[in-house]
Structure 1
Amino acid sequence: MPSQSKAGLAERAIETAIYGSRWLLVPFHIGLLLTVIALLAKSLQMTASTVSDVFHLSVKQVIVSSLSLIELVLIASLLLMVVFSSYEGFVSRLDGHAERKERLQWGSRVGFTILKHRLMASVAAICGVYLLERIVEGGNLQGSGIAWTAGAFVLFVTASVAMERFSRADH
């Protein structure tokens, strides 16, 4: 019997360590949140620069600036989507706001499959906006650079659609 209790104690200790290791993800989440703050600072800088120089910029430059801001919004949204779903899925429930109206309705319903689809769709959208930005800019990418960007966009869209179809076939 003593060997069984030692084995049971060791098993509980290992399981406790494994279960507690989920908290090791928190610094990653904090890093992603700090990146969102950095993107916010960059978007404020870009907005201020565009607004202050609006009468000296061409329409093309204003459009490219707007597309860059859209890119930043999509990337920041993607980061927050990962933080919310990953934290709630692997670390702990976000119940500090349960009684408040700020509670996001989708937060607890985003599983791995839905997150995977949203990530792929977001990456495809970001790539599409980047491609459009490069096309509008004109000379910043050579023909082969635009072709590579367009190819990446088609690849992301195709992968996103394929993942969606395969997921529907599983259900």
Structure 2
Amino acid sequence: MMSDPPRDASPVSAPATSGWVGRQIVRVVLLSRWAMVPLFLGLSLGLVLLVIAFALRLWNFAFLLPSLTETAVIMELLTLIDIVLVGGLMVIIIQSGYENFVEQIDRRHAPDSPAWMMRISFSGLKLKLFASLMAISAITLLKALMRLETDVSETQVRWLMAASVLFLAAYAVLAFTDRFAGTARDD
């Protein structure tokens, strides 16, 4: 997690912002992080809408279940899983983004805060985001493969496979560089 340096830390050399104008610029730059708050609140609202979309999809699935084929049931379940993965991705982005870019959450006032929030590194966050994106990509590819005979072309499947391989390669490179740099932790 990013943390502010101690206020009494003396700089090694005189900062370029030692004058009144420089201090005001630094103040505005530091205050600008609060502009992120409406974005995180908007994502929180988007998460609520995603929950509503999930509930509606599940409700429709329950009513249509007797008339669905086995393939259609699997497709609906994969769609529900996809929605859950996107929701999890949003939670990671909202909570860790707020803590990384706005301010640390005081755990004394947030006892229901997840344990991973206290121990996840920025490197671990990147790996979790990539893992979620890979899972979403894999589900999309699986759904396309199941629809290959009806409404998905082989070219579309090839592009989805290429995207999945690209996500996997990027994840592997990211994990390797983090391990090589010695910054990754077991999150």
TM-score (norm 2): 0.82
Superposed, 1:124-135 pairs within 5 Å as 124-135=134-145
Post-superposition Cα deviations, 1:84-142, rounded to whole Å, max 9, x if no partner, equal 111011112222x5356412111133332222111111111100011111212332210
Q: Which residue of structure 2 lines up, in the alignment, with residue 72 of structure 1? A: 83
Gaps of 5+ in 1: 1-6
Secondary structure of the 1:55 match is helix
Of 104, 119, 122, which aligns to 1:93? 104
**Stretches of 4+ aligned residues off by more than 3 angstroms:** none
2-side partners of 1:101 and 1:115: how far apart?
A: 21
Q: Which residue of structure 1 lines up, in the alignment, with residue 70 of structure 2? A: 59
2-side partners of 1:101 and 1:13: how far apart?
A: 36
Gaps of 5+ in 2: 1-17, 183-187
Of 49, 54, 57, which aligns to 1:46? 57
Q: Does the alignment pair 1:105 with 2:115?
A: yes
Q: Which residue of structure 1 lines up, in the alignment, with residue 92 of structure 2? A: 81
Change (3 A) 1:99 1:24: closer
Superposed, 1:6-21 pairs within 5 Å as 8-21=19-32
Secondary structure of the 2:108 match is coil
Q: Does the alignment pair 1:136 with 2:136?
A: no
2-side partners of 1:86 and 1:101: how far apart?
A: 19
Q: Which residue of structure 1 lines up, in the alignment, with residue 163 of structure 2? A: 152
Change (3 A) 1:100 1:26: closer
Contact in 2 for aligned 1:85/1:111 (Cα 8 Å): no
- Report sequence identity in percent: 28
Change (3 A) 1:116 1:15: same
TM-score (norm 1): 0.89
How far the C-alpha of 1:161 sits from its partner, in A, is 1.2
Q: Which amino acid aligns with 1:103?
A: S
1-side partners of 2:97 and 2:58: how far apart?
A: 31
Post-superposition Cα deviations, 1:22-78, rounded to whole Å, max 9, x if no partner, equal 100011111211221221111111100010111011111111011001111111111
Quote the RMSD (CA, aligned, Å): 1.5
**What count of residue pairs does the alignment treat as equivalent?**
164
